[in-house]
A = this chain, B = another copy of it.
Amino acid sequence: MSLTISIDAMGGDYGPEVVVPAAILALKAHPDIHMILVGDQDVLTDKLQQHNILDNEHFSIHHASQQVAMDESPAIALRTKKDSSMRVAINLVKDGTASACVSAGNTGALMATARFVLKTLPGIERPAIISELPTIKGHTYVLDLGANVDSSAEHMVQFAIMGSVLAELVDGIEKPTIGLLNIGSEEIKGNERVKEAARLIAETDLNYYGFVEGDGLYRGEVDVLVCDGFVGNVALKASEGVVHMIRHFLRQSFGRNIFTKLAGLIASPVLKQFRDELDPRAHNGANFIGLQGIVIKSHGGTDEIGFANAINIAVVEAEHDIPNKISKHLEVLLEGQA
């Protein structure tokens, strides 16, 4: 088997209920991989039996006696949950048993544990959360989406390098364009950190495009968009909120009376296609980039299709050996500066 992926089978809002069917779906897409489901031995044995995959060589169970709660403090999880399904799944990446791990668990605890166990890459001070967001043209990688606040100009340069390597390897884009998220008010034109980051990125060999405003993200102005983690997280969540609100109004409009319901029925195949294009499950799976190992965070409330997509991202990144490629790019860059 080509690759082994470790999976925190107890994490997320639904644990094995979603994770096990998702793993079965992921195997259909990648028939060669092996998945280690980490969590309570008894619970997982039952669940695998239920799905008739207990003897399937593509799945194995690795017992972990603890779980990190979704609302648990990362510091407490780190100190007291040394045998949690999340931590053990990450340990399997650390010791080389697995090439990547996936978890739908508590974001803060996952980031803290991954950082503690795997450490950051040489030259990277802060790992970041990167994800691809849909745009009119396709998609754009955005980072940081909330691993850090008050990111410095130097951190943003590191984010730019990591995003560039990811877009180049995963999507095959030669010299991906890099934008910096900024505001357009003529008076201000951004804060000092963003201006300094622009100067620093322009000095690297990256394909620096310039400043991009919030709406430019969804116009697909650049391949990679770099920002502070606070700003990126707010932009992402606000965007999700808008999509949710629009669906609400659309449903309401078509549900108003018998005529609108009929119109909705006739339009429903078209509306379904429209929904599919914006399906958040297709974009599920954020990468904790900058670590000495691959950790993919699935949305906690996703279903099996969404979680399978997070496993898919783990497989693709492992195939491309992303962390080592970032390291090599950083070495070249640091030599160039020396």
Contacts and interface: CB of A to CB of B under 8 A. Distances in A.
Q: What size tier do the contact residues of chain A reach?
A: 35 or more
Interface string A133-158: 01110000000001111100000000
Given A253-B270, A253-B271, A214 B191 contact: no
Contact of A245 (B112, B134, B192): B134
State how many copies of this chain the complex holds.
2
Given A136-B248, A274-B253, A234 B183 contact: yes
Given A149-B191, A191-B149, A278-B249, A218 B235 contact: no
A215 B237 contact: yes
A218 B244 contact: yes
A224 B84 CA distance: 40
Interface stretch (A46-54, A94-102, A103-111): A103-111
A200 interface: no
Contacts of A273: 253, 256
Interface of A is mostly: helix
A135 to B, nearest CB: 7
A148 to B, nearest CB: 7
Interface stretch (A6-14, A18-26, A168-176, A260-268): A260-268
Interface in A262-292: 263-264, 266-267, 269-271, 273-274, 277-278
Given A148-B188, A260-B270, A236 B214 contact: yes
A215 B238 contact: yes
Interface string A182-217: 011111101110000000000000000000011111
A73 to B, nearest CB: 7
A240 interface: yes
Contacts of A234: 181, 183, 213-214, 227, 231, 234-235
A235 B250 CA distance: 22
Nearest to A250: B274
